[in-house]
Amino acid sequence: MINLIVRSLMRVEISGMEKLENAKGPTIGVSNHLGRFDAALSLGLVRRDDLIIVVAEKYRQSAFYRWMVKTLDLLFLERNEADFGTLKEVLRRLKSGGMLMIAPEGTRSHTEALLEGKPGAAFLAARSGATIIPSAVIGSEDRVVKEQLRKFRRPHVRIIVGEPFTLPPIPKTDRDVYFKECTDEIMAQIAALLPEKYRGVYATHPRVAELVALKS
């Protein structure tokens, strides 16, 4: 049903969707986060019964979000503190072969360009041994969606799915450095899929330039 709603409201163009559909074992899909429709895009387009999506705890006060979380078996997550209960449940589902869809920025970008990534995605990937699949979302900005819908037009949203990769094992020392480097790698993989104006704080990162050169 969500797929039908998404498709009726938006013109969605996807490149590389088979990489998500064919993924086996613990998998984490990472992407930029432009607008409120991004979670609906994941729910509507990735057809898996074991999809894992977290919703910010602040939305628990909304009856609609409480209904959605309960009905679709989503998880509330307190992003401003260590929510060990939810993280433990996410890891359990991942290790059972589930697919987590997450935006490492942790919040929508009001600049419409990448914000600095937070270490949560890297932590979950390293702890679960999950394969990471980066993707770029273009055209789902709240501003653009509202403007198009007001004109009774369907916004054109593009999704580009990149190549799967994994993180090296967690070292016994210097773990803060390790998670920072892993987070930078995850964000660079996303940035390399995006047009330059969307790359934000990663626009001049050398790893992004390296990845873009490899694709050309």
DSSP state of 165: B
Task: List, for residues 59-83, the tens digit of each pLDDT value.
Answer: 899 998 898 889 888 898 887 777 8
pTM of the model: 0.91
Q: Are 199 and 209 in contact (CB under 8 A)?
A: no
Q: Are 152 and 5 in contact (CB under 8 A)?
A: no
Average pLDDT, whole number, for the chain?
91
Task: List, for residues 133-151, the tens digit of each pLDDT value.
Answer: 999 999 988 888 888 888 8
Nearest to residue 123, comparing CAs of 50, 175, 52, 57?
Answer: 175
pLDDT at 1: 59
**Residue 94 to residue 21: CA distance in whole angstroms:** 16
Structure token digits, residue 137: 């979302």
Domains and CATH numbers, the chain: 2-215 (3.40.1130)
Task: List, for residues 9-53, the tens digit of each pLDDT value.
Answer: 788 899 999 999 899 999 999 999 998 888 888 877 888 889 999
Question: Is pLDDT at 2 greater than 70 in this prediction?
Answer: no
Give the CA radius of gyration of the chain. Answer: 17
Q: Are 101 and 53 in contact (CB under 8 A)?
A: yes
Nearest to residue 50, comparing CAs of 73, 29, 69?
Answer: 73
